[in-house]
Amino acid sequence: MTRYLLKRILMLIPLMFGITLITFSVIHLAPGEPVEMQMAMNPKVGKEARERLTKFYGLDKPLHEQYFSWVGKLARLDLGRSFSSDGRPVADKIKERLPVTISLNVIALILEFGLAIPIGILAATRRDTWLDKGITVFVFVGFAVPTFWLALLLMYFFGVKLGWLPISGLHTLGSDSWGTLHYLWDMAKHLIMPVMVASFGSLAGLSRYMRSAMLNVISQDYITTARAKGLPERVVIYKHALRNALLPLITLLGFSIPGLIGGSVIFETIYAIPGMGQLFYQGVMSRDYPVVMGILVIGAFLTLLGNMIADICYAFADPRIRHGEV
Amino acid sequence: MRNATGGSLLLILLCSLLLPACSTSDSPQPSVKRSATSIPVTGDSLVEGTIGEASTLIPILASDASSHAVAGQVYNGLVKYDKNLNITGDLAESYDISPDGLNITFHLRRGVKWHDGAPFTARDVLYTYRVTVDPKTPTAYAEDFKQVNNISAPDDHTVKVVYGIPFAPALASWGMNILPAHLLEGQDITKSPLARQPVGTGPYRFKEWVAGQKIVLEANSEYFEGRPYIDRYIYRIIPDTSTMYMELKAGAIDLMGLTPVQYARQTNNKSFTSLFNKYRFPSSSYLYMGYNLRHPLFGDKRIRQAMTAAINKDELIQGVLFGMGQKAHGPIVPGRWAYNPNVKDIAYNPQHASELLAQAGWKEKNNDGILVKDGKPFQFTILTNQGNQQRLMTAQIIQQRLRQVGIDVKIRVVEWAAFLKEFVNKGNFEVVLLAWSISQDPDMYDIWHSSKTNPGELNFIGYKNPEVDRLLVSGRNTFDIQKRKQAYFRIQDILAEEQPYTFLYVPDALPVVSARIRGVEPAPAGIGYNQIKWYVPKNEQVYVP
């Protein structure tokens, strides 16, 4: 087992190297330059100012030198400084945005699974009834509706018309001076709409998964046996069937872990939430190489890590994998 | 989203959406008038919605409008533009220009203090100059200061600047925000904490910056022009304009810029006009269609004149701006002193357009109704940048109008970074649809002089005219306003005749301010110039400390 683990960890090194190389090439292949984005179309900028900035960012050096200096810093866990005019360390920029994005995604994820599972069970056990059909229509509407449109409608209704919920942002102005509970309640109110909108769209996929897994299990012999024993339907479904039906969903949950640090540009922009999606989007639009590469590398690393953990879990479960027989 | 409007001069950015400029004859009026009898009182906050977040609050390092807007409240320059767009002293109490135009002497205000209590002196001015021209400073604003031959401070409150040649834009360049030498000297300015916690001399002092959410400024009780009445100035970052508009309607924002459709159609009901005052004045920018003069198709001026005659500018203003703008006839916005009111622009006349095209040899039409010459159809692509719906709509209306005279136009929309690098800088385009933001000073050497046609420079259409070159130089090398006027009037005549651009329209700036804010007085400079005099009557204050 230790050997297997060691092998997996060693394999990460060339993979990470490949990732850095691809990340670096992709962003440098994109047309446009960071200096251009800051200086272009400004009559006050002369050639000298451009050269000054190019040199300041180290963009005058040959590409391979730029790459190795970046990778060298990366190896020391230094993501470098942003190419935007604030020139702040990329790590700081990511750090101040990560908590918001992760909390929002975790809440949305819990909500998605928390709703999709009962919806799926309900649809499976009441198969082909009006309830099943109604649920199908509802979740597919959620799937089909464009996020930004739904978000704007909700904002107008709850924010402007009824005035129940704040429209955008994370805090009400002046909330810093309130008590802790009041402050948290204010923040929760700000999160209601974005979380709702974020989870509504993914309900369809998950609940359909749950429904079909459940239907699959219900048709198994052991369920028939359980029913034949005279167990109440509730126990049959929730004790015997549910556990097995949940397995594919748990796999799906595993897949969504790396996605937790990524944010959606669209709803972050609409709800004015300063998350990772906006940071990445702005980074790409202004060709802020260090920011873009930093986020990509972290994302890739987390995906690798997630895969590795999953593999190790499989290895625990299946001796053939850890002995390298398959 | 990045709205790439192009030339962004430091000075005009100081007021962000409160962009100045307006004609004196057509004084803008607020849509609601409230009794102005109450006496100004202190208190309350003003919340401004902003699409982009500031990047750094050290203004010489910033290249975006949001940063300059915030910095403009925290810092001062030596000079500024007053409500009528005349240059007046700011940190300099007064200034003298020697008769030959080579020496400018600034007499600095006494008793001005930085927000940390240190006194403001000539040392700060010298430091700001030196750090800006220092080759190690990554700034976009060194160019104007490069004309300076020598700068000295005979005493703590006098600064003498010597120029090699008389340079008219020089005076305005001292509107550059002055930085605190005592906090920056001997340090690496790119790593200074002042970027996130600025210390200035301005009406508002920095309080707090919550990344991605808001920047809070507090009234400077020791401000040399008097304490601003409104206690706090808060910038809320809301990247989406629809969201911002809803926040405005919900009362969470007091000040923002409206879109033309919002101004013209969505804000005329009583429930809106009783809560907000709308303002309208020409912005300092114009939209144009620029022809690549290196391209064989556009070398002939009759072709370019024909295009202008085929385009109905009124229709563009109605269709795209809902009437919130005016026709552009040249590179100077109507209402400025350098604007030539007698310029002979080409009027909309498709018949005239066809005649001009025929003179240039485009007579026959093929089966699709497209003009043909030597077997080749008259066809080109209008290139514009992504993310600007107004430009796309303008291009589409132009496309339809040009089709009517037999010209086949395609439209291509390209993302801004690629647009600059692959097309504009390489001269790899036929026609571009873009806008210029322009400064208060009419100097436009960089856009029209024949020496500025290299890759990456701003005369990317390749316009070369020896007379214009001469006039551009004489216009910037004298302080005599009559002589400058003469030069710029003539340039406008030449450009109207030659049509290297088809000048399309000047959109209006459409700010809206909560009606509880009093003291807003629109002037040629817009509304932002007297912000420190704005106030909220005691019984209407919303934000209590």
Fill in the amino acid letter for B67.
Answer: S
Q: Which of B70, B235, B247 to mutate to test the interface with A (most CBs of A within 10 A)?
A: B247
What are phi and psi for residue B437, nearest 5 degrees? -90, 135
* pLDDT tens by residue, B398-407: 999 999 999 9
Rounded CA-CA distance B545/B542 in Å is 10
Outline where DSSP puts E strands in B76-177.
Answer: 79-81, 87-89, 92-97, 103-108, 148-155, 158-163
Tell me if B52 sits within 8 A of A85, measured CB to CB.
Answer: no
Q: What is the distance in angstroms between the Cα of A198 and the nearest Cα belonging to chain B?
A: 17
- Convert B334-368 to b/e letters by CB count within 10 Å (16 or more is b): bbbebbbeebebbebebebbbebbeebebeeeeee
Q: What are the beta bridge partners of residue B281?
A: B509
Q: Which of A30, A86, A274 sits opposite B55 (nearest CB)?
A: A86
Q: Which residue of B has its CA nearest to A274?
A: B212
Cross-chain Cβ contact A41/B143 below 8 Å: no
Q: Specify the pLDDT at position B17.
A: 33
Subunit contact A31:B63, Cβ cutoff 8 A: no
Question: In whole angstroms, what is the distance from residue B422 CA to residue A32 CA?
Answer: 7
Q: What is the pLDDT of residue B37?
A: 56
3-state helix, strand, coil in chain B (%, to 5): 30, 20, 45
The whole-angstrom distance between B195's CA and the closest CA on chain A is 7
Measured in angstroms, the CA of B235 and the nearest CA of chain A are apart by 11
How distant is the alpha carbon of residue A300 from its chain centre?
12
pTM of the model: 0.84
Token duo for residue A156: 């107008």
Smallest Cβ–Cβ distance between B6 and the set A41, A86, A163 belongs to A41
Look at strands B158-163 and B148-155 and give their pairing.
Answer: antiparallel
Spell out the alpha helix ranges (H) of B462-535.
466-476, 481-498
pLDDT confidence of residue A250: 75
Inter-chain contact B420–A272, Cβ cutoff 8 Å? no
With residue B204 as reference, give the H or E element that holds it. Answer: strand B204-210
Q: Which residues, given as ranges, of chain B have pLDDT below 70?
A: 1-37, 545
Instruction: Answer for the pair A41, B4: CB distance below 8 angstroms, yes or no.
Output: yes
> In 3D, which of A116, A98, A97 has the Cα closest to residue A199?
A116
Q: Which of A32, A167, A270 sits opposite B420 (nearest CB)?
A: A32
Q: Give the B window 198-217 contacts with A, CB below 8 Å.
A: 211-214
| CB atoms inside a 10 Å sphere around CB B84 | 13
The pLDDT tens digits along chain A (326 residues) read 678 788 888 888 898 889 999 999 988 888 777 887 777 677 667 777 778 888 888 888 888 889 998 988 888 888 888 888 788 899 999 998 888 888 888 898 899 889 998 999 889 888 888 999 998 898 888 888 888 889 999 999 999 889 899 999 888 887 778 888 888 899 899 999 999 888 888 888 888 888 988 898 888 888 888 888 888 888 888 888 887 888 777 777 777 777 777 777 888 888 999 889 889 988 888 889 999 999 988 888 888 887 777 777 767 766 666 666 54
Q: Quick check: helix, strand or coil at residue B151? A: strand
Contact B191 A87 (CB under 8 A): yes
Quick check: B212 and A274 CB within 8 A? yes
Query: How far from each other are the two terminal CA atoms of chain B, in whole angstroms?
Result: 33
Length of chain A: 326
Distance CA A247, CA A162 (A): 42
pLDDT at B113 (0 to 100): 95
Residue B311: φ, ψ to 5°: -100, 130
Helices (H), A156-288: 180-218, 221-228, 233-235, 242-256, 265-270, 276-285
Chain A residues in contact with B146 by the CB 8 A cut-off are 46
Task: Note whether A42 contacts B63, CB cutoff 8 Å.
Answer: yes
Q: Residue A196: what are its φ and ψ, rounded to 5°?
A: -60, -50
